[in-house]
Amino acid sequence: MKHTEIKNLGQLKMAGYRSKSIKDELRDNLRERLSTGKESFEGVWGYENSVIPELERAILSRHNINLLGLRGQAKTRLARLMVELLDEWIPVVEGSEINDDPLKPMSRFAMELINDKGDDTPISWMHKNDRFYEKLATPDVTVADLIGDVDPIKAANLRLSYADDRVIHFGMIPRANRCIFVINELPDLQARIQVALFNILEEGDIQIRGFKLRLPLDIQFVFTANPEDYTNRGSIVTPLKDRIGSQILTHYPEDIETARKITEQESNLDGRQTDSVYVPDLAKDLLEQISFEARDSEYVDAKSGVSARTSITAFQNLLSTAERRALLTGADKTMVRLSDFLGVIPAITGKIELVYEGEQEGADGVAGILIDDAVKSLFPEYFPEINKLERKDAETPYDELLHWFFQGEGFELLDDFTDEEYKRTLDSIPALNELVEKHQPEFPKEDVYFLKELVLWGLVSYKKLNKNRFEDGYQFKDVYGSFINDL
């Protein structure tokens, strides 16, 4: 019999339905996925050999879980994906505020209804997507919000005494019975509120204004916390921490390839943007490298972390910078340039917390430094490394190119150059063409102009050339020539 055909308690019993706790649901469905080789948490990259196995072990152990990690490490996403491990539909006593199981009723409403109607008790069905509750812990959250309070309006309407438990208005946690309940940023919750969670996790007892209700709530709790919060804003009180079965540490992507997968998956780009803007692979690598540089930067607060959202919003801005230029110049298509990375600075400055030294540089200044550091890190993967200390008479692969700049006035790359003008300007440096041809002969033709720009930016980051930003674009000059002109 299909669930849609089961309308009352009698039909449910005839169908042979058996009650199952939510933790057993998760466990049984995970066992089936593991045995058939199906992924448990699809679309989460970089956790295949670390976080996901630990999360699966916690579910198999029927534990409440605390995901501990810095911001932007997919903690809430993992909790939401647990919904996929629930049964598709579950039966609920129709009209119940706390999703009573028809075979194991808890609330006074459900028990009285079943006593009155017996097998004719009406049944409704709850889909797994409706079984996810989420609450951001903030200092102003009250016991009434989470657990419940006496409702004077209900007492007046039903003409009940305050001593009657039917005057109770249930909070979020009882209403999340038989559901996954996520409390984000748990340390931000006041200690007395955390204390109120003790018995719910352990005994299923809840107390509301002197009412002691025995409600063995069936909830899968998932908490998230940021290690920074333990010192800055609060902490998880020890007895509550003791009742959380598994604490799992999350982390940032460990390589650029994984970071790129996350960024491309989460960017939600407009189709017209992706059709009109070509992004070289090297540009995608450089974009991710900026976040890696930020996580190691002396200017950025490591305790706060650098969210994966930094790369996502920066990627969106990068494409928008190129798209805007194409619209202004009337071009149908364009390619991302390294000079377009100026457009990602607003996406970086809002996502990083600076230490004192960073504040002295300024947010925009730090963002510029991070872009230069990313260029410097990727440069040796494509061209010979530039040593800090070398003899004055030592020959280097960059001598001819540097000599070209020394003899000339330098050259400019304007922001509003059409693609043809951009390519023509970069092609006008013979030494640059020869350098790229010699060291990267197999490089894709459509990406080679970004690579040429990388050479110039790389030489700037190694202090072999000067780069100046003016209102309409960038100017590259010889270091000594600039110095002489200044004199």
Q: How many other C-beta atoms are found inside a 10 Å radius of the C-beta of residue 104? A: 12
Q: How many other C-beta atoms are found inside a 10 Å radius of the C-beta of residue 256? A: 18
Identify which of 344, 227, 258, 328 has the alpha carbon closest to the alpha carbon of residue 294.
Answer: 344
Q: How far apart are CA 196 and CA 44, in angstroms?
A: 33
> Lowest mean pLDDT: which of 81-85, 110-114, 201-205, 411-415?
201-205
Q: How far apart are CA 175 and CA 47, in angstroms?
A: 32
Q: How far apart are CA 441 and CA 383, in angstroms?
A: 12
> Lowest mean pLDDT: which of 188-202, 221-235, 409-423?
221-235
Question: What is the per-residue burial (b if ≥16 Cβ within 10 Å, else e) of 150-170?
Answer: bbeeebeeeeeeeeeeebbbb
Average pLDDT over the chain reads: 88
Kind and range of the H or E run holding 191 = helix 191-202
User: What are 9-60's pLDDT values in tens digits?
Assistant: 999 999 989 999 999 999 999 999 999 999 999 989 999 999 999 999 999 9
Residue 367 has pLDDT above 90, yes or no: yes
User: What are 58-79's pLDDT values in tens digits?
Assistant: 999 999 999 999 988 999 999 9
Work out the angle between the directed axes of helices 51-60 and 22-36 (0-180°, nearest 10).
130
Tell me how far CA of residue 103 lies from CA of 93, 121, 132, 245, in angstroms.
Answer: 9, 11, 22, 28
Residue 230 has pLDDT above 80, yes or no: no
Give the CATH number of domain 3-249: 3.40.50.300
- Model's pTM, two decimal places? 0.86
Report the pLDDT value the prediction gives residue 240, as an integer from 0 to 100.
85
pLDDT band at residue 251, thresholds of 50, 70 and 90? very high
Report the pLDDT value the prediction gives residue 232, as an integer from 0 to 100.
47
Burial of 356 (0-12, 13-18, 19+ CB in 10 A): exposed
Q: What would the mean pLDDT of 470-485 be, rounded to a whole number?
A: 76
Q: What would the mean pLDDT of 111-121 be, rounded to a whole number?
A: 92
Q: How far apart are CA 339 and CA 356, in angstroms?
A: 29
Q: How far apart are CA 32 and CA 432, in angstroms?
A: 58
Q: What would the mean pLDDT of 355-375 be, rounded to a whole number?
A: 92
Kind and range of the H or E run holding 66 = strand 65-68
The structural domains of the chain, with segments of one domain joined by +, span 3-249, 256-486
> Is the CB of residue 142 less than 8 Å from the CB of residue 189?
no
- Greater confidence (236 vs 82) lies with 82
Q: What would the mean pLDDT of 175-198 be, rounded to a whole number?
A: 87
Tell me how far CA of residue 431 lies from CA of 204, 420, 426, 441, in angstroms.
Answer: 75, 20, 11, 15
Strands lying side by side in the sheet with 473-478? 411-414, 473-478, 465-470
Report the pLDDT value the prediction gives residue 278, as an integer from 0 to 100.
94
> Lowest mean pLDDT: which of 170-179, 224-233, 441-450, 460-469?
224-233
Q: How far apart are CA 341 and CA 319, in angstroms?
A: 10
Q: What would the mean pLDDT of 69-97 be, rounded to a whole number?
A: 93
